[in-house]
Amino acid sequence: MSKEAKFEDNIKELENLIAELENGSTDLEESIEKYTKAMKLVNQCDKKLKTIEEQVTKIVTENGLEDFKVEE
């Protein structure tokens, strides 16, 4: 993957991997590969969400809306 995938694309791929793992039709080695790929996608999505949260916080602060809070 030479170009960073969109967040939504990563989520869709993650959902597909989870569905494949849940249906139990893959052998052990393939399941481990899919699980490893899924965890990489989770980490990428987490990093992207943190970056977006920082950007939103910056925008809100710059516009004098310090009372704005992101709910977790």
Q: Which two tokens stand for residue 63?
A: 């516009």
Out of 21-25, 57-61, 63-67, pick the least confident: 63-67
pLDDT at 1: 40
Residue whose entry in the numeric block shows the structure tokens 């694309």 = 9
Residue 33 scores a pLDDT above 70: yes
pLDDT at 8: 95
Spatial separation of the C-alpha atoms in residues 23 and 9, rounded to whole Å: 21
CB 45 within 8 A of CB 10: yes
Average pLDDT in the chain: 87
- Under DSSP, the state recorded for 6 is P
Spatial separation of the C-alpha atoms in residues 46 and 42, rounded to whole Å: 6
Average pLDDT over residues 45-59: 91
Average pLDDT over residues 22-47: 95
